[in-house]
Chain A
């Protein structure tokens, strides 16, 4: 590269679908890709919230449309794929970020009923597979594409709690490698990002609850320090920002990241105790 020339991520003509981008980490990914020039399709289950993210991107000069639907059913995922394809004509980049765990599911291994293993697997793995089936064949035909799975620092370790959730995240890391092999030499790369503690709205509300519980008088910073110092074992002394995940995603989506394939990129402030 020429000295003094910035690394252009070359995302200007690319079209990206980011699932679960009406809140949290997905918002950071959507904003970062849009800031790099990609046209972004914001996905969520709630039309109003998804539109708010799209409007925020447009307000910063980016291009964004929405695709609404529930990825936990075949029909819902079909609707999302159709809306995404209709938005800008095709999808070059699929970021499988949506997922989680149904509220109210117990944390302990022997408290989690077997049916909940299926439900969490459906949320985190099968949802991603549904969109891969719908959107990746087009990428392969055109000879260029990017697929990114959002796993979790929990994929590389285990606290012993939410075991079924961690297992689905580990499954995503493995699914990524499988798909990268299947798509070998097609121009479509497949990678995983495993985020650690990222300061989303939901995490802020949790920190506020911790601050109240610990008698910190609502001091979120003090709650953050408590979490950082006493439990997270990070090697970077701050919580992550949604954009931290967005930067990693932008690189993997870029033609500049084209030699990275089948990888798991940890964006966890060094919290993972293991190698990949």
Chain B
């Protein structure tokens, strides 16, 4: 029998990862208005992994 993986503090490891944000944020960035895309676009794309 194989036990469920445990981390050191006995909290079960997460079963599933949320989808990576990057791909979604790229799509949304191009839907922003011209000014917003210019100002906030690079911050989001540069900081959000």
Q: Hey, which bits of chain A sit against chain B, CB under 8 A?
A: 23-24, 100-104, 107, 152-154, 157-159, 161-162, 165-166, 169, 196-197, 200, 202-203, 205-206, 209-210, 213-214, 226-227, 229-233, 268, 271
B37 to chain A, nearest CB (A): 4
A195: nearest residue on chain B (CB-CB)?
B43
- Is residue B9 contacting chain A, with contact meaning CB distance below 8 A? no
Residues of A within 8 A of B34 (CB): 103
A225 to chain B, nearest CB (A): 11
List 22 contacting pairs A-B, 8 Å CB cutoff, sorted by A: A23-B35, A24-B39, A100-B38, A100-B41, A103-B38, A104-B37, A107-B29, A152-B43, A153-B43, A159-B46, A162-B41, A162-B42, A169-B46, A196-B47, A197-B43, A197-B44, A200-B39, A203-B44, A206-B29, A209-B31, A230-B18, A230-B19
Residues of B within 8 A of A196 (CB): 47
> Is the Cβ of B24 less than 8 Å from the Cβ of A166?
no
Other than the given A101-B41, A162-B45, 5 more pairs (CB < 8 A) read A100-B42, A166-B46, A200-B40, A226-B21, A227-B48
A226 to chain B, nearest CB (A): 8
Please, how many residues of chain B have a CB less than 8 angstroms from a CB on the other chain? Answer: 30
> Is the Cβ of A161 less than 8 Å from the Cβ of B46?
yes
A100 to chain B, nearest CB (A): 5
Residues of A within 8 A of B36 (CB): 202, 205-206
* Residue of B21, B26, B47 with most partner-chain A CB within 10 A: B47
B44 to chain A, nearest CB (A): 6
